[in-house]
């Protein structure tokens, strides 16, 4: 059962198909996006991976798309997928087996965004919860205020005939930025480059997973897709908003745009996601520099950071646990720098639930 398509959740799945053919379940959007992302991973890093394209093909052959809120049986298990609000098609997974009920949150977001409806609170009785802890030690700023700040900063640069480059993840964040710009009627030449183009096609074929499909389709009509260097150069020849991967500048077409835009203070470089320590994006946010022609140079363009998280923060995580009935065992995972263990201890102290941050190799009986 696959919660969503992001590579840190889906990327190892083809390994199972080197020795067998297990059934795979997920939403139609998740399965299509997973195939796209793993295909790209094979293209980039195939010689380092313990599987090949034939394993991916076998995996897709044995996959079954499921709708939200419909029970499915597999052997002794009964399960259903629930909207997780993280990326299109993302799911919470409710699993029943031998009289026990387990909720696996995967990555989830409890707040509505321009692209997605937030995950619903879960109010039934459970025996165990496996919960992400990504932002368990953070509180998010008001999302509507951040959107307005992004729009204001964009319009300021466009008024000066500048161009804005927005590094964005191809799945989810690129589409959200498209919707935000369309919702606020930004009058600009909007460019989408890289894998986000293929993602747009997949989402267009899976509109049931979008909060406002009319807004999304209007955004699709408004954008211009880039397919080659000629299109990129044309995009740079006029004031534009350019949405391009990768979100943390670890690769992708965004590097081409930055090299063309970095030395003009009338341009903008807007980050719209968390920048992991050590990535080129984090260096730019922290120092205002990026590596160009084997040396670090100062960026003259206006650098801004707008945190548009697709994860529940501390409040959202605790709220989900508060609403669950019974006294489930809580497993805190998917976090860094001690956030899992800290959140487990806070769950014990604040909610009176038995909680643990599992280590690799730990085994538990429910």
pLDDT for 274-308, tens place per residue? 888 889 999 999 999 999 888 999 999 999 999 99
Q: How far is CA 358 from CA 32, 108, 324, in A?
A: 31, 20, 21
Q: Which residues, including other chains, have CB under 8 Å from residue 156's CB and lie 6 or more apart?
A: none
- Classified by CATH at the fold level, domain 7-138+310-356 comes out as Metallo-beta-lactamase; Chain A (3.60.15)
Q: What's the predicted TM-score (pTM) here?
A: 0.94
| pLDDT > 70: percent of the chain | 100
**8 A C-beta contact, residue 82 and residue 68:** yes
Q: CA–CA separation, 201 vs 223, rounded Å? A: 13
Q: What pLDDT, on the 0 to 100 scale, is given for residue 242?
A: 97
Domain segments of the chain as ranges: 7-138+310-356, 143-305
Q: Is the pLDDT of residue 337 over 80?
A: no
Provide the CATH number for the domain formed by 143-305 in this structure.
3.40.50.10890
* Tens-place pLDDT, residues 236-254: 999 999 999 888 888 888 9
Count each helix (H run) and each strand (E run) in the chain, helices first: 12, 17
* Tens-place pLDDT, residues 19-71: 999 999 999 999 999 999 999 999 999 899 999 999 999 999 999 999 999 99
Q: What pLDDT, on the 0 to 100 scale, is given for residue 123?
A: 84
Local structure of 351: helix, strand or coil? helix
* Tens-place pLDDT, residues 92-143: 999 999 999 999 999 999 999 999 999 987 888 999 999 999 999 999 999 9
Q: What pLDDT, on the 0 to 100 scale, is given for residue 79?
A: 97
- Tell the residue number behind the tokens 């165990």, with chain if given: 128
């Amino acid at each position: 059962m696959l919660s969503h398509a992001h590579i840190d959740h889906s990327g190892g799945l083809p390994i199972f198909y080197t020795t067998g053919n297990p059934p795979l379940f997920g939403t139609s959007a998740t399965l299509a996006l997973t195939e796209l992302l793993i295909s790209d991973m094979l293209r980039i890093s195939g010689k380092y991976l313990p599987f090949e394209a034939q394993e991916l093909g076998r995996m897709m052959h044995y996959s079954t798309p499921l709708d939200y809120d419909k029970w499915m049986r597999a052997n002794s298990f009964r399960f259903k997928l629930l909207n997780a609000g993280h990326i299109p098609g993302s799911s919470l997974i409710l699993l029943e087996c031998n009289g026990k009920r387990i909720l696996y949150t995967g990555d989830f977001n409890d707040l509505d965004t321009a692209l997605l409806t937030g995950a619903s609170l879960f109010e039934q009785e459970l025996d165990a919860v496996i919960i992400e802890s990504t932002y368990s030690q953070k509180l998010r700023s008001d999302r509507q205020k951040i959107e307005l700040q992004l729009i204001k900063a964009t319009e300021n640069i466009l008024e000066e005939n500048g161009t804005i480059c927005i590094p964005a993840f191809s799945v989810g964040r690129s589409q959200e930025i498209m919707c935000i710009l369309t919702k606020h009627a930004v009058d600009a030449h909007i460019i989408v480059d890289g894998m986000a183009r293929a993602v747009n096609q997949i989402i267009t074929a899976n509109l049931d997973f979008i909060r406002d499909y009319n807004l999304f389709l209007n955004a699709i009509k408004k954008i211009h897709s880039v397919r080659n260097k000629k299109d990129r150069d044309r995009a740079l020849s006029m004031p534009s908003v350019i949405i391009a991967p990768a979100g943390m500048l670890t690769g992708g077409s965004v590097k081409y745009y930055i090299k063309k835009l970095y030395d003009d203070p009338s341009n903008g470089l807007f980050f719209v996601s968390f920048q992991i320590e050590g990535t080129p994006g984090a260096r730019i946010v922290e120092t205002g520099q990026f590596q160009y022609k084997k040396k670090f140079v100062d960026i003259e363009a206006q650098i801004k950071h707008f945190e548009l998280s697709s994860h529940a923060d501390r409040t959202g995580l605790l709220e989900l646990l508060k609403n669950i009935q019974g006294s489930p065992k809580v497993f805190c995972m998917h976090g860094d720098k001690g956030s899992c263990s800290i959140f487990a201890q806070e769950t014990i102290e604040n909610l009176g639930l038995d909680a643990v941050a599992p280590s690799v190799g730990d085994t538990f009986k429910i």
